[in-house]
Structure 1
Amino acid sequence: MNTLHPTATPSSHAPTSGIGTLIREWRQQRRLSQMDLALDVGISTRHLSYVETGRARPGVEVLLALAERLALPLRTRNVWLLAAGYAPRYTEQPLASDQMAQIHAALDKLLHAHDPYPGVVLDGGWNVVRANSAAQRLIALLPPALREPGVNMFRASLHPEGYAAHTRNLHEWGGYLLRTLRRQVQESRDPQLRALEQEVLAYPQVAALLETPGPASGAPELLIPCEMEIGGHRLSLFTTMTAFGTPRDITLAELSIELFYPSDPATDALLHQFAAAD
């Protein structure tokens, strides 16, 4: 199974604000009132108000309860703990470390079983860190500038010299990708994802894709396929995302597995044909 070198991944950021300010900012980001958040975690509104204004220091368990209710990334929870004067709770093992050997085995088994359909493992910045043979065949279509030092799914999919040049329904697929990226930026507040969003929005024609209407009333987007034309062949693929359950390590928490499936019998047959040709 191929391991790809990712581009820059999200890094820990030293807190620049007090813990009270951080809590208030994230609470407002999640559109919760002080009363709602306090009731949900079982503390008084007055105590939460004192914490947010710096008049009280939250205990570790209260802090972690607030972080859990606000669905904070593990990386941000460590930032909160440091800002409040506590030791970080969550490790960050390198993906290539010996401690990850069993994780590698599980990922390889999953990706191998998914062949001849494309499958990749992504880090928190949506950089490809592992890919099966079917995905490698698609990655080979990218120009060197989009493959080195690593493949980023948003960059590769939206760059005019990347998959966008092969995507027949870019107005739909690209709009879906941009809304996904924007949601990730809003939920994580990660500066590297924000920089990535600004980069892809600067590509020709990409900003206009945001005008493509999304699902009405917040309904889920049901199976928007990626329709590509490659070497005179039409491929139609839909995607699923999987994450590790109950992670306590930042690296694992930020990993996701994206598996592509054929949307029609013709694509299914073509993917098997490409695999047999190799």
Structure 2
Amino acid sequence: MHPSPLHGTAASNPAAHAVGPLLRDWRQRRRLSQMELALDAGISPRHLSFIETGRSRPSPQVLLALAERLSVPLRERNTLLLTTGYAPHYPERPLETADMNPVREHLQRLLAAHEPYPGLVLDRYWNAVLVNEAARSLAGLIAPELSAPTLNVYRASLHPEGLARFTVNFDEWAAHLLHNLRRSIEASGDMALVELEREVLAYPGVRAALDASRPESGRPVLLVPCVLDLPLGRLSLFTTLTSFGTPRDVTLDELCVELFYPADEPTERALRALRP
């Protein structure tokens, strides 16, 4: 049985004032009504209304149930708990720690098995934390400053001193990347990603690519390749993104694997020819 909505009033629990607007923001971002969210989370709409307006302090169980229904990233779930005065629920272990050795080894094996095609492990900001040799070869074509302190997929792909200068279908590929970045922002609400979007939109030709790439028919493009004119020849590549299923660690929740595949036979032959 859930606690009364009046349990822990705003006056006695100032944290209730802080968490309410955060939850309301996540609910509105997911385009859910109070009724829909409350019923899905197993609480009354009145209780949810009291939580959002700061009149009631939710228990950790209620808070996590709401966050689960709203698909709140694990890092932000910890923030909700801390804001309400509770301890964080999800651990965060850097990939370099001993506890994460098995995960890192699995990822390295995955990238090695993907050779001679490029593969990268990315963090929440699309920074490369692990790469295979094929991806490292592509990274060698961009200006060194774009790899410092770490290689970021959006900067490396859209900056004029990055892969943009080799990209034959730049407008189409840039628009594809920007739509992905916008989806990441909407899913996470991360202001650092908003700043990254603002940065790359200021690169020459990037903002114009959004309008230039819209198909006149209005029909969605099923598969967008990245077509590169490189010294070894023309490469046409498509990508897949893979994330961990039901992670219970913040670091794992934020990692994804991007694997590039040849979109045609000439690309496959060119990449296989590079393999020792």
Same topology, TM > 0.5: yes
Tell me whether 1:213 sits opposite 2:214 in the alignment. Answer: yes
Q: Superposition pairs for residues 20-169 of structure 1, below 5 Å?
A: 20-169=20-169
**Helix, strand or coil at the partner of 1:23:** helix
Partner of 2:11: none
**Which residue of structure 2 aligns with residue 201 of structure 1?**
201
8 A Cα contact 1:176 1:214, kept in partner = no
Question: For 1:18, what is the secondary structure of its paired residue?
Answer: helix
Alignment correspondent of 1:3: none
| Larger gyration radius, structure 1 or structure 2 | 2
- Cα deviation digits, residues 35-72 of structure 1 (max 9, x gap): 11111111111110000011111111111111011100
User: Would you say the 8 A contact 1:239–1:260 is kept in 2?
Assistant: yes
In structure 2, what is the equivalent of residue 4 of structure 1?
none
Mapped partners of 2:187, 2:197: distance in 1: 13
Contact 2:154–2:177 under 8 Å retained in 1: yes
Q: Deviations over 1:247-278 (max 9, x none)?
A: 111111101000000000100000011223xx
After superposition, what is the alpha-carbon deviation per residue over 1:10-44, rounded to whole angstroms, capped at 9, x for unaligned? Answer: xxxxx9x7111111111111111111111111111
Q: Which secondary structure state, in structure 1, belongs to the residue aligned with residue 275 of structure 2?
A: helix
Calculate the TM-score normalised by the size of structure 2.
0.91
Please state how far the C-alpha of 1:214 moved relative to its aligned partner: 6.8
Partners in 2 of 1:25 and 1:171 — Cα distance?
33
Contact 1:243–1:256, Cα closer than 8 Å, also in 2: yes
- With over 3 angstroms needed to count, the CA separation of the structure-2 counterparts of 1:107 and 1:84, relative to structure 1, is same
Report the count of equivalent residues: 260
Q: Does the 8 Å contact 1:120/1:132 carry over to 2?
A: yes
Q: TM-score scaled by structure 1?
A: 0.90
- Sort the Cα spacing of 1:52 and 1:119 in 2 relative to 1 into closer, same or farther, 3 A: same
SS in structure 2 of the partner of residue 210 of structure 1: helix
Q: Quote how far apart the aligned CAs of 1:222 are.
A: 2.1
**Closer, same or farther: CA 150–215 of 1 in aligned 2, 3 Å:** farther
Aligned identity (percent) is 54
CA-based RMSD of the aligned residues comes to 1.7
- Which residues of structure 1 form unaligned runs of 5+? 1-14
* Larger relative contact order (Cα-Cα within 8 Å, sequence gap ≥ 6): 1
